[in-house]
A = this chain, B = another copy of it.
């Protein structure tokens, strides 16, 4: 698959995910209107939709016969919730997200807390209501996503990140944070794609590994971009992580070593992918695309 064909397929999948999100979210004029408008504001802010696309494409490559789009919308709701809560004044205190005011700036802090809570809850409601068949599927999907989002993974990573803030984190600490804050949700996406296709537990575990490697590569590239790209390219203030004394891979080991790290993890993901899926063209092209992205 060449880059142009990949980009066309990526766009098509992203649009399908966004249409599904619009279908799943309550209308902005449904009471309570401020809350529902805030939900749509947070979710419709754009973003690359890489996690839901990844889920859909793993499901498709493995021949899933159930529709992956509701599950893809669920993981995007969960991702959006984590961004809304991370941006809060008591957390990272970020005023901008994707080039627009963060939710607590566009609305208010209480609405942002509640919008995050509602998006997190909606993620599980979608999984539980949209996958009644085959029986047991909904439970597996909820278990996968809830485990990845819980206090040992996603939420735990944010807690660890806040705990080291203002201090210099060790490489081990930073790896533990990134695995939880980024890797866990990427792993849930690849595993949920496999679950939708009926994969057995050992295959699910292999797909989690692919997701973790992808997440590690993604995070390394994100840190490089934050340190080097202009505000226009990233939609946030350039060098913001450095200004806030945030612990990043670039702060710890420099731009070049972080780029090499991204390369290493993409290669690991590709190696796993070759074992799991001899003809996963889109996913292999996605690895290259992720490694080369500039925003």
- Residues on A facing B (Cβ under 8 Å): 26, 30-32, 34-36, 39, 81, 85, 88, 90-91, 108-111, 113-114, 116-118, 120-122, 124-125, 127-129, 131-132, 134-140, 142-143, 146-147, 149-152, 155-156, 158-160, 162-163
Contact = CB atoms under 8 A, between A and B. Distances in A.
Contact of A111 (B110, B131, B149, B159): B159
Contacts of A121: 120, 146, 149-151, 155
A264 to B, nearest CB: 26
Contacts of A30: 152
Contact of A132 (B120, B139, B147, B158): B139
Given A125-B150, A151-B36, A159-B34, A90 B109 contact: yes
A156 B35 contact: yes
A114 B146 contact: no
Given A36-B151, A139-B135, A151-B39, A146 B128 contact: yes
* Copies of the polypeptide in the assembly: 2
A112 to B, nearest CB: 8
Contacts of A142: 124-125, 127-128, 138-139, 142
Contacts of A90: 108-110, 113
A146 B117 CA distance: 11
B125 A163 contact: no
